[in-house]
Homo-oligomer: A and B are copies of this chain.
Amino acid sequence: MSDVLEMAKNAREAAINALQLSDDLKKNALSNIAISLEENKTKIIEANKIDLDLAKKLLFDEKITQSAFNRLKLDENKMRDMIQGIRDIINLDSPVNKVLWSKQIAVGITLKKITCPIGVIGVIFEARPDVISQITALSIKSSNAVILKGGSEAKNTNNQIFNIIVSALKNIKDFPSNMVNIINSRDDVNEMLKADEFINLIIPRGSNSLVKYIKSNTKIPVLGHSDGICHIYIDEYADIEKTIKVCMDSKCQYPAACNSVETILIHEKILPNIINRLFSEFTKNQVKIIADDNIIKYIPSAIKASEDDWKTEYSDKIISLKTVKTINDAITHINKYGSGHTDCIMTENNENVEKFMMFVDSAGVYNNISTRFADGYRYGFGAEVGISTNKTHARGPVGLEGLTIYKYRLYGQGDIVDDFINGSREFIK
């Protein structure tokens, strides 16, 4: 048995023991983690300096981007937010052992549907050291065991934070050791993907190619989003001022985010009234414009769009613009080229809102609001483990609830099915 398989096996055992953890005990554990991280700030910053020094060379060689480098850096502010993030999770409602419903299925037979943890979760995340404590906290709060794999550029910081977390948990009586685990190499990830006997869910946060690779190489269910190709459709009944505001926020507020807009579809009737405003605002914000022929007539400086542009997540200050003749054309375009993440209609026409929201097959369907709202915190979930474009289990921003499943408890008094087959007893309808 490989080391990782052994780790997964032990994590599975810890997950079984964790089924009994009270919310109070988990609160204590999380509070201990927050205190320990605070006390060991200097150690973490030092480990982070090692990662940053190594990353500087990668930056110089253009192997990582400046924004990736920035995400890697842990300063006082990020540390404070990171520790506050754990404290926020402490006070969320416990997602497990909740009775979803209870009913009598026959006289004397009661069926209850009760939430419970999933078991063992493997999370692969980007080189952002503030993420490790958040995912750990969400896992503990939901009584799941976790195997963590962070981006390799943050290896030293992650391992330091991990060690502090594990030490903090050792001081909690009855807390199952092996609840929180870390792996470091790609080989380890490949071993983890084989451990379908022990691991119940893999959550990859990261690039499209990473998610695709993982889905192709494991029998374990995978929760994640491959692309974030979000759209705004400007309907013929859109309010121009709202639209300009929402388009700028959706593209410029944080262009690297998966919930940033990539393509704007514009109804041909409103096009002449809005295109110059869009052009000047995007230009002011240094956004490069790619557009279809129709729009290039208004913006000769725009780059001509190719078929590939409609399928591209730029994750940058680039926007593609396309004219559509009808709302139906917009919906068809989104369902064809979109990634089912988040799509918005700008309109004051309620019928069109309804139509768009019904037929656009995405996790988030929006009206008159920035696509950047697609986020667990903003939805009020307290925190998120990621955003899912899956059509099963959990969709959209995934908070604590997405880390749970349920079991059925059935209470009888010596009841047998044969009585119901031979007609001597009946189920309650």
Contacts and interface: CB of A to CB of B under 8 A. Distances in A.
Q: Pick from A253, A358, A407 the residue with the most CB of B within 10 Å.
A: A407
B410 A364 contact: yes
A311 to B, nearest CB: 12
A417 B366 CA distance: 14
A272 interface: no
A246 interface: yes
Interface in A341-370: 353, 357-359, 361-370
A358 B410 contact: no
Contacts of A118: 391-392
A105 interface: yes
Nearest to A335: B16
Q: Pick from A20, A111, A377, A410 the residue with the most CB of B within 10 Å.
A: A410
Interface stretch (A23-31, A152-160, A213-221, A228-236): A213-221
Contacts of A219: 212, 215-216
Contacts of A60: none
B412 A221 contact: no
A279 interface: no
B242 A390 contact: no
Given A361-B16, A373-B415, A392-B200, A367 B221 contact: no
A362 B407 CA distance: 7
A413 B368 contact: yes
A393 B392 contact: yes
Q: Pick from A243, A246, A362 the residue with the most CB of B within 10 Å.
A: A246
Nearest to A380: B105
A294 B216 CA distance: 47
Nearest to A402: B392
Contact of A358 (B19, B377, B393, B428): B19
Contacts of A395: 405-408
A368 B414 CA distance: 5
Interface residues of A, number: 75
Interface string A370-403: 1011100111100000000011110111000000
Contacts of A392: 118, 200-201, 221, 223, 392-393, 405
Contacts of A372: 416-417
A409 interface: yes
A416 B359 contact: no
Contact of A249 (B119, B409, B417, B427): B417
A53 interface: no
A414 B245 contact: yes
Contact of A20 (B119, B359, B365, B391): B359
A420 interface: yes
Contacts of A237: none
Contacts of A248: 416
Contacts of A379: 105, 111, 408
A205 B366 CA distance: 38
A378 B416 contact: no
A104 to B, nearest CB: 9
A196 B416 CA distance: 42
A418 interface: yes
Interface string A89-133: 000000000000001010001010000001100000000000000
Contacts of A427: 377-378, 380
A378 B106 CA distance: 9
Q: Which 7 A-B pairs have the closest CB atoms?
A: A369-B412, A242-B414, A249-B416, A372-B417, A393-B393, A200-B391, A215-B219
